[in-house]
Amino acid sequence: MDILANLAMGFEIAASPYTLLLAVIGCFVGTIIGALPGLGPSNGVALLIPISFSMGLDAISALVLLTSVYYGAMYGGRISSILLNIPGDEPAMMTTLDGYPMARQGKAGEALVISGVASFVGAFLATIGLMIFAPYLAQVAFQFGPAEYFALYMLAFCTLGGIGSNNQAKAALAAAIGLAIAMIGMDQTTGMPRFTFGEMHLMDGVDFLVAIVGLFAVAEVFFFIETHGKDSAIGVKLGKILVPWRMLKDTTGAMLRGTGIGFVAGVLPGAGASLGSFLAYMAEKSSARDKSTFGKGNPRGVAAPEAGNNAAAGGALVPMLTLGVPGSGTTAVLLALLLTLNITPGPLLFTERPEVVWSLIAALLIANVVLLLMNVPMVKVFVHILSVPAWILLPGVTMVAFVGIYSLTGSSYDMLMMVGFGALGYIMRKLDIPTVPVILGILLGNAMEDNLRRAMVLSNGDWTFLFSTPIAIGLWIAALAGFLAPIFLRKVLKTPPLPETDPSLNED
């Protein structure tokens, strides 16, 4: 029972009244940062690092504060997704698909409670998974080379069909737009800038936050202006807010499945929380009997991606702590924080600095409980956002979006680009083309291309290298199944195979 003894040690260090206070503050600030479009977990944590320095916090207190902000932002992202159809951060993108329709039906409170509980389940179980399995899971990263990663990203794109739209070609078109945008910037395999037209702001590529805030927040504002808010959730009459026990019970399975998928996606460096929530949602949708209700306000479509993204956030800490490889943008910032505190994550961290690791884990557990206690009662406060008159709320959202994007790099260029994305988002909505695949393309496009080209460098251009290991073959089969199943098997089978890495598919 080493784990329990270690955990007790962690709590001893992390659970002083002062650090608990920091946790509460961090959770609150984090929730708000997460809910504001443009400010997500990664820039939230990045903005707070200098503050924690100027407050003169010691290593443990700084860790508690910033992990609370991190998890807080992961929880908070869902709030604006559900209420305004504007994801507060990129992993909360999938929550808009069913969360916003629920809000339009007057079920905003239920959606917020379910997603809050799902966030807790995902994050809590992932933290326990981190505690028990971290040293073993570190080995998984060694099994994933360029070919395996490429197959993993293919799996994500193959399951895209039919997301948020019934027209697969439109989803594919949107994904292609995203992939094209991802090509902008410095090419890692040749060191040459592409499609930058000599513009230095494009050298690092298009920041997905700029795209997401433009495509969702700005486009939403345009759309609202056109329709005078007829279809929006703002001003919808809300029922009395009670804890929807029945709905929670019905979505337990979705939460647990989402947690499992999200955690695995998080553990793989380079996949991250967005892929976790995406795969969790697609798996839940394709295994459901009532597929047609997804995208129209199915509570399970809220529970699965929220559990998935929070579990992935926990899972991403595994490669970050054991290998020093950040699994997502936010863990990259946390990694930087650890380095500035003179803590070097790596294979020896668990044995050399157990006090750091276990107090971090204790801090995560504390933050989670604080967040659950804070979030569920606060649903009542959050839903009041919808009673704010639109002429105050929408200018406010627009302002926050501009401030958030400006804070990314401090350049007005990003803000102009954001407005451009807003126009694109508006046109796409008019044509009924889903915008989620665009973001997915921007998020994963670079990594997918880099891995393909690394694979080609390693194999001297031999394409069979992509199918040379059992893991890669398994992922390809899953991808193929995910792509073909909805097309051919829809009528034959009631429940098509799960588009995830099923070990039983590894027979080849």
Partner 1 sequence: MKYLSRAAIAALMTSAAIPAAAEECIAPANPGGGWDFTCRQVGRILTELGEVPNMVQVTNLSGAGGGVAYTHVVGDRNDDPEVFVAASSATTTRLAQNAFAGATADQVRWVGSIGGDPGVIVVANDAPYQNLNDLVEAVKADPSKVAFAGGSAVGGFDHLKVLMMLDKAGFTEARQVKYIGLDGGADAITQTVGGFAQAMTGDLSEITGFIRSGDVRPIAVLSEERVAGFDDVPTAKEQGVDIVAMNWRGVYVPKDISDERYNEWVEMLKKVGASEQWQSIMAENGLAPYDIFGAEFETFVADNIAQIQAVSKEIGLLK
Provide the binding-site residues for partner 1, judged by CB under 8 A.
29, 32-33, 35-36, 39, 46-51, 53, 141-146, 186-193, 198, 200-201, 203-204, 269-270, 323-326, 333, 335-337, 339-340, 342, 344-349, 381-382, 384-385, 388, 392, 396, 400, 403, 407, 409-411, 450, 454, 457-458, 460
Among 89, 498, 69, 117, CA closest to 300: 117
Of 151, 215, 123, the C-alpha closest to 480 is 151
CB closer to partner 1 out of 292 and 411:
411
Nearer to partner 1, 335 or 436 (CB): 335
Residue closer to partner 1, measured from CB, 387 or 495: 387
Nearer to partner 1 among residue 51 and residue 431 (C-beta): 51
Sole residue written with tokens 């009459």: 237
- Rounded to whole angstroms, the Cα distance separating 407 from 418 reads 13
- Residue 47 burial (10 A CB sphere; 0-12, 13-18, 19+): middle
Residue among 324, 2, 276 at smallest CA distance from 138: 324
To the nearest whole angstrom, how small is the minimum distance from the Cβ of residue 109 to partner 1? 15
**β-strand partners of 186:** 193
Q: Which one, 17 or 198, has the nearer CB to partner 1?
A: 198
User: What's the DSSP call for residue 165?
Assistant: S
Give me the least distance between CB of 203 and partner 1, in Å please: 4
We find the least distance from the C-beta atom of residue 74 to partner 1, in angstroms, to be 17
Question: Can you tell me the distance from the alpha carbon of 107 to that of 363, in angstroms, rounded to the nearest whole number?
Answer: 33
How far lies 101's CA from each of 97, 168, 276, 296, 427, in Å?
7, 21, 22, 5, 21
Please, what is the angle between helix 59-84 and helix 2-14, to 10°? 90
Tokens of 133: 């399995």
Nearer to partner 1 (CB atom), residue 97 or residue 405: 405
Q: Which is nearer to partner 1, 262 or 326 (CB)?
A: 326
The residue type of 266 is: G
CB of 139 to partner 1, least distance (A): 9
Find residue 194's DSSP bridge partners: 185
CB of 296 to partner 1, least distance (A): 28
Secondary-structure percent of the chain, ordered helix, strand, coil, rounded to 5: 75, 0, 25
Considering the complex, state which of residue 146 and residue 496 has its C-beta at the smaller distance from partner 1.
146
In the chain, the amino acid numbered 272 is: G
**Nearer Cβ to partner 1, position 388 or 431?**
388
Q: How far is the CB of 397 from partner 1 (least distance, A)?
A: 11
Take residue 456 and report the two structure tokens written for it. 């080609």
Q: What letters, b where the CB count within 10 A reaches 16 and e where it falls short, cover 295-330?
A: bebbbbbbbbbbbbbbbbbbbbbbbbbbbbbbbbbb
Contact of 117 with 239, CB cutoff 8 Å: no
Count of Cβ atoms closer than 10 Å to residue 255 Cβ: 30
- Taking Cα atoms as reference points, which of 274, 288, 299, 281 lies closest to residue 163? 281
From the CB of 346, what's the least distance to partner 1, in Å? 2
Distance CA 288, CA 286 (A): 6
CB of 486 to partner 1, least distance (A): 33
Choice between 342 and 504, CB closer to partner 1: 342
Secondary structure letter of residue 498 according to DSSP: P
Helix (H, G, I), strand (E, B) or coil at 184: coil
Cβ of residue 2: shortest distance to partner 1, in angstroms?
19
Nearer to partner 1, 439 or 456 (CB): 456
Radius of gyration of the chain (CA): 22
We find the least distance from the C-beta atom of residue 225 to partner 1, in angstroms, to be 21
At its nearest, how many Å lie between partner 1 and the CB of residue 25? Answer: 11
